[in-house]
Chains A and B, each alone.
Chain A
Amino acid sequence: MKGVYQLTRPALVWQLLMVVVVMIPHSLRLPWWLPLMTLGAIGWRLLVHLGRTSFPHWSVKFLMAITAGIGAVASIGRGNGPELAVALLVAGFALKLLEIYKRRDALVLIYVAYFLAATELLFGQTLLHALYVLLALLLITAALNAVYQSERHPDFRRPLRAALRLLLPALPLMLVLFLIVPRIGPLWYAPMMQEESVTGLSDTLSPGDVSQLTGSSAVAFRVEFTSGRVPPPAQRYWRGLTYDYFDGRRWQAESDRRTPPELSDLPSGPLLRYQMIIEPSGQPWVYALDYPVSASWPLRMAPNWTLRAPSRLRQRAEFALVSRPLDALPQALSESAQSRYLQLPASGNPRARELAQRWRDEDASVDSLVTRTLALFNRDFVYTLSPPRLGADGIDDFLFETRRGFCGHYASALAFLLRAAGVPARIVGGYQGGEWNPYESYLLIRQYEAHAWVEVWYAGRGWVRVDPTAAVAPQRVEQTADQLLADEPGFLSDTPLSPVRFGRINWLNQLRLRVEAINYSWHRWVLSFHLRQDALLQRLFGELSLWKLALALALPFGLVLGWVALSLLRQRRPKTLDKVDSALLRLSQRLGAQGLGRRNGEPVGLYAARVAEARPELEPLILAVARHYDQLRYAGHDDNAVRRAYREAIRACMRRL
């Protein structure tokens, strides 16, 4: 019969610690009462341990379980599978705390803790998240070890040491498995996790929208150029979508008709190939430099020559893109398309319409219309992130009253004027700029670099990009946004302590870039590793074969396990000898070849006498060795002269052998 194991106090403490560590990140997401319940359970269990109260009756636990279950369903809703599952697990986890008394209960709790710690990675995948989960796994392992540690020697720190000794060698093994084990696609449809907040361009543009984005320094996407030179800042226009329809207040994105682009060839020219890792935006748009010519599956090209993912991006995604830098997109415009890009509401903004009409009457060429508008903007308009509110006729107000605004205002005003003058135009939403990271050679585009500009259709040339903001604030295009906007009150208002704010402090900026670089590598090599695995393995091992993979798995495993086994089973080495003793040892080894080695426990004096008897010719020398040895070791005459004499005697002895 096996004994009933009652948990020791360190084991219990480790369990509670483990529960707290596992719960902390989850509790930020869960309904507020779940962490409270867990805390209550911890408190109760502690009181039980102190003998202040007893374990709850089963009916109490049953009632609590039912309540927690209903509560979780009610406050999260059944639609959100993973989150609900985690909440229910956490509830069970907390309630199980009230049961841990024996080893078996503790094991249930610990295994669930392992699982909960891993699920945390579904909700956040930064390097910090990963480190935190690693820490949690360490503590859980310590808790598991504490359950099995000796009851006679309960100790709080030993489990942690044991867990470290177990986990550290497990890390390289994990790495090998991570590299080698092939990734397979999802086995069944799993509902996506709800992102905490997605930021990005929306499918409508009212001239205030972009300002929300300028408040955020969140990453929009990262780009690594695989061929072709990196375009200068002024050329970095990342096109995402076009706003075609204006209802008087807002511009709306083109309706997504699944017709292929009307133009098949682009003029030849150099190509830019690049790899893009795009953060979840909740929108299907993928941002490409002007103008994309091909893209990796499953992206497709929309009629307005922008790229679309098949569904909204709710997880980080990576695409390979190819663009060809062009001045204009030579696209013919059909009747219907023409009317679409000339669309304006029937009424509203009368002063703007009147201005457009007047300009058109004076000179109908597209060029002159564009030039006049930009000249107007250039005259006394001010670029600001905190413009005054606009009234019902927003374009009029902006053009003739406030004259303050940012890209959205300028783009919509320009597009409005052109359309009113009968020139097809559309607003393009996307990002402009990007920060070059020299450490990992990639471009980082943040939300505050969101931008809106205008494409104007020239008969014979096609669509030509016109950025009215550049006319007002050319720095916006040539410098990075953070350099330009740092003093604007609206800039980065969401993240007051963002390191981007301190970009002008040089070393801090470098540090920030380095952190960014690490993040980028993290994204590329860990979070999107499944996209890169095949290529990497092929580069490492050439043509892949089963036996090569098996070898790649077995060899590091063998090495690590061998090393661990050796360190575990190795005899503790004897104390290292000092020079005096090691010289003696050498002599004894030499003599040992002739059966005259010093026996264990034999004093040097007796040994010397034995040698002298067996080898009379060595007598004076070996006796001198013993005499000097005794002088050094026991008589306290440890000075250089004696040492030298000792070494001399040993050497002389060796020579005679």
Chain B
Amino acid sequence: MLATPADRQQGTAMQDKIERAVASVSTLVLGKDTQVRMALTCLFSQGHLLIEDLPGMGKTTLAHALAQVLGLSFQRVQFTSDMLPADIIGVSIFDQQASAFRFHPGPVFTQLLLADEINRTTPKTQSALLEAMEERQVTLDGVTHPLPEPFFVIATQNPITQFGTFPLPESQLDRFLMRIELGYPDPVAERQLLSEGRYRRQREPLPVCIDLEDLASIRESCRQVRVSDSLIDYLQRLVQYSREAPEFAYGVSPRGSLALLQCARTWAYMQGREYVVPEDIQALLEPVIGHRLRAAEQVGGHGSEALIRQMLEQVDVVG
């Protein structure tokens, strides 16, 4: 489908907005342009984001900045080992004046929830949050409370090798559309950071670059992005490889491949393209697929990153 000039015009206007958003966030999170774009891709694709990294890498800053540029209501929950599900989704407390139970909404009732260190809490509490993420509503004492629209969760977690954590089970990881790592800043960014003396504190709130209306229009446009048969072939070869190669304990699920396609559309749209190319798939393979795969036991020492790189080298684009 060819875009009409008007669409195109609108498209480029929208892309400018997105660029501005990226630029704003980058003033706070230095040198993480790609990660910022990926986070936006995830949110535009209506998925939840998992950021995995060591403490102090700027995970929280990124989440906060995203909330601001998107103009979303924001809540932050620090997860601890003694947290209960009610601490997230809310409690019904007996109101003596009304002599009835009154629902006190938990922090989950927000448009953008930052769930910090999600792997610090017990599986029970984790699953309460993840269910809310999946269903976009909370049911308590037989009453269903819908969550606001849009609803995003940005969860952060420490790498599972850290002590005293409850790693998320694979089935739960699958609920996150993407998992990204921030990593150490590059030397230039770090120098800038150091010269300013401290972690950049927010002096004034970031301007809202993309409002809710824009968000809806972006989602609509992403659905129009073309996916050709050749591209689907390529995607299928990748998925097939992950299912057959012995390095993987199990391959990509159909949900995983759908997620990949959805993200690739958004990614292509953000580049101002009307069709998906293999480059999009390749760029997003690690963040979208990485946490859904598990390396087989015998392939010790390789992270999923190395495996995915190998996968990209093994499966040809052409053919």
- Using a CB–CB cutoff of 8 Å, the interface residues on chain A facing chain B are 574-575, 577, 581, 584-585, 598-606, 630, 633-636
Kindly provide the distance from the CB of B158 to the nearest chain A CB, expressed in whole angstroms: 32
A602 to B312, CA, bound (A): 8
B44 at interface, CB cutoff 8 A: no
Cross-chain contact B282 with A603 (CB below 8 angstroms): yes
Kindly provide the distance from the CB of A604 to the nearest chain B CB, expressed in whole angstroms: 7
Interface stretch, picked from B109-117, B205-213, B252-260, B269-277, is B269-277
Cross-chain contact A585 with B318 (CB below 8 angstroms): yes
Contact A577 to B318, CB < 8 A, known contacts A600-B313, A634-B231, A635-B274: yes
**Chain B residues within 8 Å of A636, by CB:** 1, 226, 228, 275
A605 to B278, CA, bound (A): 9
A598 to B318, CA, bound (A): 10
A604 to B275, CA, bound (A): 15
A635 to B273, CA, bound (A): 9
Cross-chain contact B279 with A606 (CB below 8 angstroms): yes
**Chain B residues within 8 Å of A585, by CB:** 318
Cross-chain contact B226 with A581 (CB below 8 angstroms): no
Q: List 17 A-B contacts (CB under 8 A).
A: A577-B318, A581-B318, A581-B319, A599-B313, A601-B315, A601-B316, A602-B317, A603-B277, A603-B317, A605-B277, A606-B279, A633-B231, A634-B275, A635-B228, A635-B274, A636-B1, A636-B275
A327 to B277, CA, bound (A): 98
Task: Give chain B interface residues in 239-282, CB to chain A under 8 Å.
Answer: 274-279, 282
**Chain B residues within 8 Å of A599, by CB:** 313
Cross-chain contact B319 with A634 (CB below 8 angstroms): no
Contact A601 to B317, CB < 8 A, known contacts A606-B279, A634-B277, A636-B275: yes
**Chain B residues within 8 Å of A630, by CB:** 275, 277
Kindly provide the distance from the CB of B268 to the nearest chain A CB, expressed in whole angstroms: 9
B314 at interface, CB cutoff 8 A: yes
B230 at interface, CB cutoff 8 A: yes
Task: Give chain B interface residues in 275-319, CB to chain A under 8 Å.
Answer: 275-279, 282, 312-319
B273 and chain A: residue at smallest CB distance? A635
**Chain B residues within 8 Å of A600, by CB:** 313-316
B318 and chain A: residue at smallest CB distance? A581
B237 and chain A: residue at smallest CB distance? A601
Cross-chain contact B317 with A604 (CB below 8 angstroms): yes
A599 to B315, CA, bound (A): 10
New A-B contacts (19) at CB < 8 Å, excluding given A600-B316, A634-B231, A636-B226: A574-B319, A575-B319, A581-B318, A581-B319, A585-B318, A600-B313, A600-B314, A601-B313, A601-B317, A602-B317, A603-B317, A630-B277, A633-B228, A633-B230, A633-B231, A635-B228, A635-B274, A635-B275, A636-B228
A599 to B319, CA, bound (A): 13
Kindly provide the distance from the CB of A88 to the nearest chain B CB, expressed in whole angstroms: 56
- The range of chain B's interface size is 20 to 34
Kindly provide the distance from the CB of B240 to the nearest chain A CB, expressed in whole angstroms: 13
Kindly provide the distance from the CB of B304 to the nearest chain A CB, expressed in whole angstroms: 17
A604 to B231, CA, bound (A): 13
**Chain A residues within 8 Å of B317, by CB:** 601-604
**Chain A residues within 8 Å of B276, by CB:** 634
Cross-chain contact B314 with A634 (CB below 8 angstroms): no
Contact A584 to B318, CB < 8 A, known contacts A600-B313, A603-B278, A634-B277: yes
A604 to B315, CA, bound (A): 14
A577 and chain B: residue at smallest CB distance? B319
Task: Give chain B interface residues in 40-75, CB to chain A under 8 Å.
Answer: none
Kindly provide the distance from the CB of A315 to the nearest chain B CB, expressed in whole angstroms: 62
**Chain A residues within 8 Å of B230, by CB:** 633-634
**Chain B residues within 8 Å of A584, by CB:** 318
**Chain A residues within 8 Å of B274, by CB:** 635
- Using a CB–CB cutoff of 8 Å, the interface residues on chain B facing chain A are 1, 226, 228, 230-231, 274-279, 282, 312-319
**Chain A residues within 8 Å of B313, by CB:** 599-601
Kindly provide the distance from the CB of B143 to the nearest chain A CB, expressed in whole angstroms: 48
Kindly provide the distance from the CB of B253 to the nearest chain A CB, expressed in whole angstroms: 22
A115 to B282, CA, bound (A): 63
Kindly provide the distance from the CB of B307 to the nearest chain A CB, expressed in whole angstroms: 14
A600 and chain B: residue at smallest CB distance? B316
**Chain A residues within 8 Å of B312, by CB:** 601
Which of A574, A584, A600 neighbours the largest number of chain B CB atoms within 10 Å of its CB? A600
A599 to B276, CA, bound (A): 21
B230 and chain A: residue at smallest CB distance? A633
Closest 6 CB pairs of A and B: A603-B278, A635-B275, A633-B230, A634-B228, A601-B313, A603-B279
Which of B226, B276, B313, B318 neighbours the largest number of chain A CB atoms within 10 Å of its CB? B318
Contact with B226, one of A574, A577, A604, A634 (Cβ below 8 angstroms): A634
A630 to B230, CA, bound (A): 10
Kindly provide the distance from the CB of A134 to the nearest chain B CB, expressed in whole angstroms: 41
A584 to B279, CA, bound (A): 17
A600 to B315, CA, bound (A): 7
Contact A601 to B314, CB < 8 A, known contacts A575-B319, A633-B230, A636-B228: yes
B228 and chain A: residue at smallest CB distance? A634
Kindly provide the distance from the CB of A555 to the nearest chain B CB, expressed in whole angstroms: 39
Kindly provide the distance from the CB of B273 to the nearest chain A CB, expressed in whole angstroms: 8
A455 to B274, CA, bound (A): 106
A599 to B309, CA, bound (A): 13
Cross-chain contact A604 with B318 (CB below 8 angstroms): yes
**Chain A residues within 8 Å of B226, by CB:** 634-636
B1 and chain A: residue at smallest CB distance? A636
**Chain B residues within 8 Å of A581, by CB:** 318-319
A605 to B275, CA, bound (A): 14
**Chain B residues within 8 Å of A603, by CB:** 277-279, 282, 317
A598 to B316, CA, bound (A): 10
B231 and chain A: residue at smallest CB distance? A634
A575 to B277, CA, bound (A): 21
A657 to B1, CA, bound (A): 36
Kindly provide the distance from the CB of A399 to the nearest chain B CB, expressed in whole angstroms: 96
Which of B226, B278, B316, B317 neighbours the largest number of chain A CB atoms within 10 Å of its CB? B317
Which of B1, B313, B316 neighbours the largest number of chain A CB atoms within 10 Å of its CB? B316
Kindly provide the distance from the CB of A599 to the nearest chain B CB, expressed in whole angstroms: 7
Cross-chain contact B319 with A605 (CB below 8 angstroms): no
B268 and chain A: residue at smallest CB distance? A634
A582 and chain B: residue at smallest CB distance? B318
**Chain A residues within 8 Å of B231, by CB:** 633-634
**Chain A residues within 8 Å of B315, by CB:** 600-601
A577 to B318, CA, bound (A): 9
B281 and chain A: residue at smallest CB distance? A603
**Chain B residues within 8 Å of A635, by CB:** 226, 228, 274-275
**Chain B residues within 8 Å of A598, by CB:** 318
Kindly provide the distance from the CB of A646 to the nearest chain B CB, expressed in whole angstroms: 14
A605 to B231, CA, bound (A): 14
**Chain B residues within 8 Å of A602, by CB:** 317
A531 to B231, CA, bound (A): 68
Kindly provide the distance from the CB of A63 to the nearest chain B CB, expressed in whole angstroms: 59
**Chain B residues within 8 Å of A574, by CB:** 319
A576 and chain B: residue at smallest CB distance? B319
**Chain A residues within 8 Å of B275, by CB:** 630, 634-636
A601 to B237, CA, bound (A): 11
A575 to B318, CA, bound (A): 11
**Chain B residues within 8 Å of A604, by CB:** 278, 317-318
A588 and chain B: residue at smallest CB distance? B318
A577 to B276, CA, bound (A): 21
A599 to B310, CA, bound (A): 12
A602 and chain B: residue at smallest CB distance? B317
**Chain B residues within 8 Å of A634, by CB:** 226, 228, 230-231, 275-278
A606 to B312, CA, bound (A): 13
Kindly provide the distance from the CB of A54 to the nearest chain B CB, expressed in whole angstroms: 47
A602 to B228, CA, bound (A): 18
Kindly provide the distance from the CB of A339 to the nearest chain B CB, expressed in whole angstroms: 100
Kindly provide the distance from the CB of A605 to the nearest chain B CB, expressed in whole angstroms: 6
A609 and chain B: residue at smallest CB distance? B279
B2 and chain A: residue at smallest CB distance? A637
A528 to B1, CA, bound (A): 76
Kindly provide the distance from the CB of A373 to the nearest chain B CB, expressed in whole angstroms: 94
